[in-house]
Amino acid sequence: MLDLQSVGMEKGMLYETIITTVNSDNTPNAAPIGVICKDKHEIVVYLHHGSSTIKNIKKNHFFIVNLLKDPIIFVESTLGNPSPENFIEFQGNCSIKKADAFFLAKVNDLKDVEKEDQFGISKTSIVRANVKEIIIKNDCVEPLNRAIYGVVEALVYLTRKDMVSGETEKLYNLRMKEISRIVSKVGSKEHKAAIKKVMDAWGK
């Protein structure tokens, strides 16, 4: 059986995916969700309460993780749902037609916790799931990780540093801090080493 390495997912890394589930009225649902690769056949997701995704997963115990980089699908899945013709049925679940790859995940543990983050305390479900079946539709599939984009953005600000002052400089300082936080959260060792070099140069 294929494992998560076959779609480029590395242990310990967080990827931005589209999770598709089935609503109680049998319509498909899609939402962008961060998926942590725990092992070759295991993932973890943190789901804030209130979304259709967590309701559907609690009820059905199965969901599909879609790997793709289509910007419109990301936007439509955040604002609502892509129209029904964007979905395709897979073993009683649904996936996104345009996905470069997708896999079926089966919940093996679900814990409700109260989590504190920068936005306050919220109810979250920590869902561990086993990877059941992986379908690769595009051999060039590459899971989406935000770290490299953060490093590139930070470098762009760094090359402009001497050109700005006052309010713009303050704004750039805030952005650099936020980019550094994100890269440290979602990046690999290499991404973290890279952003540290950029931040050191920024502080000089």
Ligand X SMILES: Cc1cc2nc3c(=O)[nH]c(=O)nc-3n(C[C@H](O)[C@H](O)[C@H](O)COP(=O)(O)O)c2cc1C
User: 187: burial class by Cβ within 10 Å (0-12, 13-18, 19+)?
Assistant: buried
Query: Nearer Cβ to ligand X, position 38 or 161?
Result: 38
Task: Please state the separation of Cα 146 from the chain's center in Å.
Answer: 8
Query: Nearer Cβ to ligand X, position 87 or 172?
Result: 87
Q: How many CA atoms are closer than 13 Å to the CA of 114, on its beta-carbon side?
A: 2
Q: Which stretch binds ligand X (CB under 6 A): 45-53, 83-91, 97-105, 185-193?
A: 45-53
Q: Is 76 in the site for ligand X (CB under 6 A)?
A: no
Query: Nearer Cβ to ligand X, position 103 or 172?
Result: 103
Q: Is 145 in the site for ligand X (CB under 6 A)?
A: no
By rule CB under 6 A, what string of x and - marks binding of each residue 151-190 to ligand X? ----------------------------------------
Nearest one of 37, 40, 80, 43 to 63, comparing CA atoms: 43
Residue among 7, 9, 31, 64 that touches ligand X (CB under 6 A): 31
72's tokens? 């419109």
Reduced DSSP (H G I as helix, E B as strand, rest coil) percent helix, strand, coil of the chain, to 5: 40, 40, 25
d(CA 35, CA 15): 5
Least CB distance to ligand X at residue 204 (A) = 32
Contact yes or no for 17/33 (Cβ under 8 A)? yes
Least CB distance to ligand X at residue 51 (A) = 3
Query: Nearer Cβ to ligand X, position 28 or 176?
Result: 28
Residue among 34, 143, 150, 187 that touches ligand X (CB under 6 A): 34
Least CB distance to ligand X at residue 48 (A) = 4
Nearest one of 65, 18, 49, 50 to 125, comparing CA atoms: 49
Query: Footprint of ligand X on this chain (CB under 6 A)?
Result: 16, 29, 31-34, 46-48, 51-53, 78
